[in-house]
Each structure stands twice: as structure tokens, then as C-alpha cells.
Amino acid sequence: MQDLTTKEYVERLPILVSGNGTVQLLNVPKLPNGTGSEMAKAVVGAFEDWDLTERIGGMSFDTTSSNTGRNSGACVLIEQQLKKNILYFAYRHHVLELLLAAAFTTVMGPTLGPEVTLFKRFQDHWKFIDRSQFESGDSHPHVRPLLDPVDKNWFQST
């Protein structure tokens, strides 16, 4: 994000804790870089500043390698610095993104860059779509029969 004083772009890490029905923002430190080591140092420093090191039982994080790396990820380093195991709560939506990416690649083939041609064309033509006439695809007479077996299998397995 853009720094408040120099207007250059800097790494920032919001550090929050929750418990007993409240959420507290501890700090949003500027990091020299986004490595697991720098993040762990900032998080443990915030815990120490607030005298919380003994009270931490779990942590929530996204599933980037800087957080989850088994040797130098922030989560492992935080546990090492606190000298205790901590329960991990990885952001679930990132896990689902991996599944969606695998399904997309299986159906559409691999992408060669960040711009997916199909989505780019859709974005370019979005202004021409009458969104006031929206109707869910599962109500379409050609789509519904294709989804019926999926629905039946889903409800039987859950």
C-alpha cells in the first residue's frame, strides 16, 4: 500500500487478536519485505507489546508460501518464537481457489499469463449486457437436467 508520508509503496501487515467476543487491532507495521521471517518478527513483537504471548492459541492466515512454508513460513516461525504449538486456521476461500483453478485448467486448458482471454472478452462486453434481466442458469430448461444428477449426488454424499 502507499506510505502515508513518502507516497512510496510499502508492505504492511495488519495484526489482530480476538477473544471473549471482541476483536482488537494490535498493529499495522511497515515491513521491509513480505518474507515469513519479517512477518513473524512483527507479529511476535505485537504480542509482546500487548503482553499476549502466553494467551495466543490459534492464528488465521491466507495460504501463501510466506505464511505456510514449512521451514521459513511465518506460522512456523511464530510457533518457534513463542515456543508452543498453535492451531492453524487457514483462510478457506484460498483453498477453494486452488480447486477452482484446477477445474478451470482441466476444462479450459492452461493459461499463459494473468489475462484469460475469455474473461477479458467478457469484461469488454459487460457494458452491453442487460443486467436487469438476470436469471440464474440453473432455471434454464437446457441446464437444469444437467444439474439434477449433480444435486442428487451432492445431497446423498453430505
Q: Encode the chain (158 residues) as per-residue pLDDT tens digits.
A: 777 777 788 889 999 999 988 999 999 999 999 999 999 999 999 999 999 999 999 999 888 889 989 999 999 999 999 999 999 988 766 677 777 888 888 888 888 777 788 888 888 988 888 888 877 877 788 888 877 776 565 555 44
Give the per-residue SS3 of 102-149: HHHHHHHCCCCCCCCHHHHHHHHHHHHCCHHHCCCHHHCCCCHHHHHH
